[in-house]
Amino acid sequence: MKYKSLALLGSTGSIGKTTLEILKKTNKFKLMLIVANSNYKKILSQLKIYKPKIVIINNTKVYLKIKKDKKFKKIIILDNFVNLEKYVKKIDITVSAIPGIAGLEPTLKLVKLSKKILLANKESIVCGWELIKKNATKYKTELTPIDSEHFSIFQLTKQHTNDEIDKIYITASGGPFLNLNKNKFKYIKPKDAIKHPKWKMGKKISVDSATLMNKVIELTEALKLFPFKLKKYEIIIHPQSLVHAIVKFKNGTTNFLYHQPDMKIPIANALFDGDFDYKKIFKIKKQENFSNEKLEFYSADKIKFTTLKLISRINSYESSPIIINAANEIFVDQFLKNNIHFNDISAYLNLVLKDKNYIKTSKMSSVTLKNIYKIDAWGRNLAFQIIAKKKN
């Protein structure tokens, strides 16, 4: 049987594990490559079950441990991408799901070697879209977003022009604190912030969902991916997480894309090009009954979720998204380590915008990987300076 070769960047994360669940249900794909970091037990399990041809492990300690394991002598075990072309010529599909800006360089590498890239890494797009797009054009690689919101916008707008569209709504569940009084935000602990009411996600993205910073990044990502202007976009609250994007057309009609809050749906649709029977592949947890379904939509509260006020500022200059993304990664990490408070994340991001060198750095060119990393490092250093200053 003819199958498609597949590479998975970020195999131990939520998107990676979901993709592997899909592969269990079909024989139409052959896992060529997985890329992982430090989750030794999970990597070990994936190698035993899926037997990829190649594994790249970024964590030196884990790499050496698995390299010595005689059970995997038939698997090519690498600790970097340098000689990847020696082992693989062309891959049919790559799923790019390494979180954070760490996913940018591997994505750029696989763009050269893949016929199609499924993009699930917001930060790579926000920080390095011009590079990704340039390389995709050069190597004739198809790019498809698989985050539920961008997958939905892609499906709803691909036959339409900017002039036909009046408004694009990106929906937000509101996270775990949608109905919590703003006065109680100062008492929020990391263990509370990572409990998303609808989605199973990693800790970082769960905190971003709790602050609604994920929607700020998603809107910025949409501006990169699609040819529509900022004024057309709006974030609205939809607690049920069943509608992932809404497009209002100038002809008076409005379309939306509805599916259960399960990432298997956009990922599988992208993998199979929409040609598969969902019920035959996956166990349906909840039978859809539209007559009984409650769908709520209302405006996002910018006073309660102050990160939403960053939207225009983060998109003011070429490299603003790189700085804000970098600082946010640091602030979220420090919150998860109990070094700063939940409210500090948004407050400190505003201090980044007020730094005397912010505009100058935001205007720096981001058309090279070297510059992107330089700008990213500046944002991270500034974030640590802000934290240190507030502690003193």
pLDDT 10s digits, 322-368: 999 999 999 999 999 999 999 999 999 999 999 999 999 999 999 99
Co-location of 114 and 157 in the same domain: no
| Residues 300, 339 within the same domain | no
Last residue of a domain, one of 117, 145, 173: 145
Residues 32 and 71 occupy one common structural domain: yes
- Find the domain containing 345 and state its range: 316-392
Does the reported pTM lie above 0.85?
A: yes
According to the model, what pLDDT value does residue 385 have?
97
* Same domain membership, residue 281 and residue 157: yes
* Residue 311 within a domain: no
Strands, E assignment, the chain: 4-9, 29-36, 54-57, 76-78, 91-96, 114-119, 142-145, 165-172, 233-237, 243-249, 254-258, 298-299
Shared-domain flag, residues 354 and 248: no
Question: What SS3 class is residue 333?
Answer: helix
Q: Give the up-direction half-sphere exposure of residue 213: CA atoms within 13 A in the CB hemisphere.
A: 28
pLDDT band at 260 (very low <50, low <70, confident <90, very high): confident
- Could you report how far apart the first and last alpha carbons of the chain are, in Å? 65
- Rounded-to-integer distance, Cα 321 and Cα 179, Å: 29
Specify whether 81 is located in the same domain as 200. no
Domain boundary among 94, 116, 145: 145
Task: Evaluate whether residue 372 is within a structural domain.
Answer: yes
Host H or E run for residue 329: helix 320-336
Q: Does 126 score more than 60 pLDDT?
A: yes
Instruction: Tell me, yes or no, whether 377 and 251 share the same domain.
Output: no
Looking at the fold, whether 188 and 233 belong to one and the same domain comes out as yes
- Mean pLDDT calculated for residue range 86-111: 94
Residues 321, 301 share a domain: no
Q: Would you say residue 210 lies in a domain?
A: yes
Ranges 115-124, 156-165, 214-223, 281-290: which has the least confidence: 281-290
b/e sequence 23-42, b meaning 16+ C-beta within 10 Å? beeeeebbbbbbbbbebbeb
> Is 67 within 8 Å of 44 (Cβ atoms)?
no
Same domain for 297 and 206: yes
CATH code where residue 357 lies: 1.10.1740.10
> Are 173 and 97 within one domain?
no
User: Residue 190's CB: how many other CB atoms inside 10 A?
Assistant: 16
Boundary-marking domain end, from 91, 118, 145: 145
Residues 285 and 342 in one domain: no
- Which two tokens mark 336? 């998860």
